[in-house]
Amino acid sequence: MIKYHLNVLFAFVLLFCGVFSIHTQTREVITLKDDWKFQKGNPENAFKVNFDDSKWEQVTVPHDWAIKGPFDKEIDIQRVAIEQNGEKLPTEKTGRTGALPHIGTAWYRNTFTLPENAKSKKVILLFEGAMSEPQIYLNGKKVGEWAYGYSYFYFDVSEFIIEGENTLAVKLSNEAYASRWYPGAGLYRNVSLIIKNNESIDQWGMFITTPFVSEDNAKVNIKTKVSTGENSHVVTTIFDAKENKVSSNKTATKFGNEFEQNIKVENPNLWNTEMPYLYSAITQLFVDNELKDEVTTRFGIRDIKYESGKGLVLNGEVTKFKGVCLHHDLGPLGTAVNKAALKRQLTILKDMGCNAIRSAHNMPSFEQLELCDEMGFLFLAESFDEWAKPKVENGYNRFFEEYAEKDVVNLVQATRNHPSIIMWSAGNEVPDQWGNDGVKRAKWLQDIFHREDPTRPVTVGMDQVKAVMESGFGALLDIPGLNYRVHLYEEAYENFPQGFILGSETASTVSSRGIYKFPVVQEDMKKYDDLQCSSYDLEACWWSNVPDEDFVLQDDKPWVIGEFVWTGFDYLGEPTPYDEAWPSRSSYFGISDLAGLPKDRYYLYRSRWNTKDKTLHLLPHWNWEGRDGETTPVFVYTNYDSAELFVNGKSQGVQKKNSSTPQNRYRLMWMDVKYKPGTLKVVAFDEGGKPIADKEIHTAGKPNELILEPDRETIKADGEDLSYVTVSVVDKNGIPCPTATNQLNFEVKGKGIFKVACNGDATSLEMFHLPTMKLFSGKLVVTVQSLKEAGDIELIVKGKGLKTAKITLNSIN
């Protein structure tokens, strides 16, 4: 059993360790991306080598077979009561899993040729994610199977490999009633072959920590598990970010099958969220003085501890989690992982001031973790949404007893050296929170995490706070995580022994970008005929709350160690509060919409989280035909304390933040403004009362011209990189048209292709992959993908009655 002092939990430093896709003299990593054949259904003998797949669809992996739709409410109608939402009676849910055709069986086949010497080597077949219940066949023989669609897993396939062509076949099956959101379908993450010597470093066999860190030096501890006989040794050489040699160590001492090295790094550059410094290392395995294996590793040095009354202390500084939860889908791309799409998400979040990500409720992709290491995000890596007790009929509960330990082991061993990961989550809102069996399962899982990684704490997202206080469930966890239940924070803090509370899931405020409803009131589960939610950010769910209530706890209670907001971006499925309505097929919880466009709420969080840059955001828009003279409240989200509002030059008074309500503390609000078309202007004041910044919104005329704004004008010519082009419409005077819904058409020429479009409308049934879509609240996003040939890419956007817009992007090698 692991013991901790009450006032200091887990004093440690973690590092990143990841094997790149490389070819050295000792090992080769082949990522199987191209030339896959795909077929929905379950054809007989599809696993055999001589099976005729000539008429199957040719795809690249990662691949999501369901994202192209169509949207259809009949696909996964569920008549259920969502217990975690407090529902007692079952009702019909039509968009819960995104209304996309992910249910059913499908096959993937790939034929590849290995190097001539592969037959005498060890060959590992690695899957980073397969949705779901994969069965793997190589050259007509079954290699093995797995269950969890979010898990990484691998097989030693050395005995199945043949000289010449090899045929890989993968069967996947997605059951109905197996998910609470859109899970995706297919080989949605990478599939790789690792070819190495029989005497080699084990898969995920390296574990790197630094047990001592000071300004002068750090001790880097490296444990390396190997498959070797006698007369072996390892050499590890560390390099800094400029590739200068830092230090080196050789050892021949082996404990069982594991070498252990301690290497000194002088004057270390510490990894943190502002300067995520990464070193690199080369670890070489020798047998009889012959080089047998070599692994290149990036890592970051940092010091972490969790202290009672303070929480996370990173490199000696108290650091609160300013985090968001993210599902694994990438909006219109579906679940097929794409590094450019992930980097765009993190870039948007970084500007908001976000410093932490929770992978909810699934195991993160390797690409996401690599980016968080590089960009400086703290990461809460989550494992399960279910244990033994079900939330949905065909969920993970079917596999828990057989697979839970294997899935946790793979999660931890594959990712435990990422500096971004600062905590593990063993589960989310599991029904097992009730009863003694649940307490035992919580301890059992936490013990597995500790066994595989004794350096990080473990949490569970708990929503049954009264139950976990009574049973001891919450007390046994390293980090007590509360999902919502802000009214129980004080009581939980008094009852739990850890000395702090984490907001493991917060807010669940709902809004639709650019949509505003009147009258402006704070209300739970508010519904409208158009199936949208108001962007005044005062609407939540019955179990949740608006952001300001969490802000109060974060700011006033030092023992509240941070929050993870539900969610950073809208995601497919779970269209609360419209999960009984149609059409409604994606969430409203996001701080940004499904297209990645910020909602107003983005600026509310930015005004509090981004302490480097100033925020001055004005809402609503000022196009309200037919509302002349009617009350139209105006909100300002800003990190200035006071401001004056003007309508067509007439002052509406000065507002100053105060503590009368949570909203007045974090927002400036003019509740009695009467609408008149023209100019809405806000002037912010500094602490001395002098004007320091201003912003204006104007009433727009008819849509006239399209504006194209790419997130990146230059992308890589690798057939995977993406440029996201925001398309908006302005009137003849260049004023944005915030209510425009024009139908647009897209064409891409040159060295790129049209990939998808998305407008962020949760009720839209237009398919993402077709080159036409309506604007929503005056905007949408077109995604352009590079080819494998460099050159110019031209995007052309047209709309009836609008001037055609063009933009040229560049793809480079």
Whether 165 contacts 111, CB under 8 Å = yes
Tell me which residue of 667, 596, 678, 594 sits closest to 637, measured CA to CA. Answer: 667
- Give the separation between CA 60 and CA 124, rounded to whole angstroms: 21
- Ramachandran angles phi, psi of 664, nearest 5°: -65, -25
Cα angle value 205/241/316 (rounded, 5°): 80
Cα 42–chain centre separation: 32
Task: Report the half-sphere exposure of 28 (CA within 13 A, side-chain side).
Answer: 11
State whether residue 23 is helix, strand or coil.
Answer: strand
Tokens describing residue 712? 């990146």
- Give the separation between CA 159 and CA 145, rounded to whole angstroms: 16
3-state SS record for 551-572:
HHHHHHCCCEEEEEEECCECCE
Going by their DSSP bridges, the two strands 254-255 and 258-266 should be labelled as antiparallel
What lies within 8 Å, CB to CB, of 719 at 6+ separation is 60, 785, 786, 787, 788
Cα angle value 491/494/495 (rounded, 5°): 85
- Give the separation between CA 757 and CA 742, rounded to whole angstroms: 14
Whether 563 contacts 554, CB under 8 Å = yes
The strand pairing partners of 811, in sequence order, are 715, 791
Q: Please report, as a single letter, which amino acid is at residue 341.
A: A
> For the chain, what is the radius of gyration of the CA atoms?
27
End-to-end CA distance of the chain: 53
Going by their DSSP bridges, the two strands 479-483 and 458-462 should be labelled as parallel
State whether residue 444 is helix, strand or coil.
Answer: helix
Annotated active-site residue 549? The verdict is: no
Whether 331 contacts 180, CB under 8 Å = no
Q: Please report, as a single letter, which amino acid is at residue 576.
A: T
What lies within 8 Å, CB to CB, of 602 at 6+ separation is 352, 591, 592
Annotated active-site residue 44? The verdict is: no
What DSSP character marks residue 721?
Answer: -
- Give the separation between CA 390 and CA 375, rounded to whole angstroms: 37
Which residue has 């007509």 as its token pair?
Answer: 140
What DSSP character marks residue 364?
Answer: P
Tell me which residue of 178, 92, 177 sits closest to 581, measured CA to CA. Answer: 92
Q: Among residues 28, 294, 429, 574, which one is catalytic? A: 429
Tell me which residue of 462, 435, 448, 563 sits closest to 506, measured CA to CA. Answer: 563
Whether 132 contacts 101, CB under 8 Å = no
- Give the separation between CA 584 and CA 83, rounded to whole angstroms: 21
490-493 contact pairs (CB < 8 A, 24+):
491/465, 492/465, 493/557, 493/559
Q: Among residues 28, 505, 563, 644, which one is catalytic? A: 505
Whether 776 contacts 760, CB under 8 Å = yes
Cα 570–chain centre separation: 11
- Give the separation between CA 649 and CA 384, rounded to whole angstroms: 55
Q: Please report, as a single letter, which amino acid is at residue 442.
A: A
Please return the burial class of 174, using the count of CB atoms within 10 Å of its CB with bins 0-12, 13-18 and 19+: buried
Active-site residue list: 429, 505
